[in-house]
Structure 1
Amino acid sequence: MSKLNDDILNRYIDNELDSTEINDVKKVLDEDEESLKRLKALRSIDRSLREIEIYPAPHGFTEKVMRTIISKSKSAIAKPGYFFISIVSFFLFAIVTVLIAALKYSERGTAQVTQTNPLDDSVKFVKENLPLLQNFFSSDNFLMVGIVLTVILLISGFFMVESHKDFKNKLNSASR
């Protein structure tokens, strides 16, 4: 033990060391004047701490502190954004529905498979279905669906931004 730290000196004052450690500490104290001064200072602090009058806490103090801690910790817990989850679920459902419809349509078209050039088949398919596609995109129903999806996207974006701001404010208030 070449250098004594405060922890060892406090354990020496409280008689928590075994006999070999006590002998080592005494040996270092005899050789090192600085460690002896620190021991005297720690003994003085220990004596003054033992002489301090102990005041009991007021009745119900612990319960009040715990209620305050619990109320503050409940407000800092972030709640899951059900709105965001529902929007994501809706779009996933729409994507899955479109994929299923595409697979059904492709199954119907594969029943009449013959050995032809794929490029010719795709050109023929586009020529046959182009008027149908133009009618679909020019109809009022498609326009309404597009408007509704755009409004839903804008509203969900607004709520996501507001949710982020609210979470940021809660995080800032919890860290103060």
Structure 2
Amino acid sequence: MALRIKSHWMNEGRERSLPEIASALASIAWRIALDKAITLHCERFTYASDVQRLEVIQEYLAFLIQIADRLAYAQLNDANRRELITAFASKLCGHVQDNSQDLLGSGDYGSPFIARLNQRADEYAEFQFDDDGPGYALLRHLGLAIQTLVGDAPENRWVIDQVMDRDGSDASRIFAKAFADLCG
């Protein structure tokens, strides 16, 4: 079943602030990342624990932040882009903290997520993104990161192919449409 995303404002005539847009994008990104983690499970890839599943979700979130940054670069000036992406990352950090705390108990889950975002920002900066979406190398990097997280159990051997061939492109396409709807 396809993921349905609501990406239109209820009162379309009203101007939205960048933090409002960032909040909506964070909710959408969380739903997409969760859906892709569930899709992996439905395709018979396995998770050893809830921690591992949350790590996969965080990888998708880091990927989607990069997609948002590339899309914002094409539409916004530097100051607005920085404000939007910072607010977006902050909202996602809150989602990670709240959901991880609900599932795993109290702890600091936001700081490691921010560290992951910073690491991935450096890594993804080298990869191509154009009008057709993420390039092969960008999708491969996402797939490799997720492959590393889920481990080398025989049933997880081909997870990189699933992420590269289907899930990564699908996540990017869905998110880019929502971004255009909310920012356009």
TM-score over 0.5 for the pair: no
Instruction: With the length of structure 2 as denominator, give the TM-score of the two structures.
Output: 0.23
Whichever structure has more helix as a proportion of its residues is 1
Rg larger in structure: 1
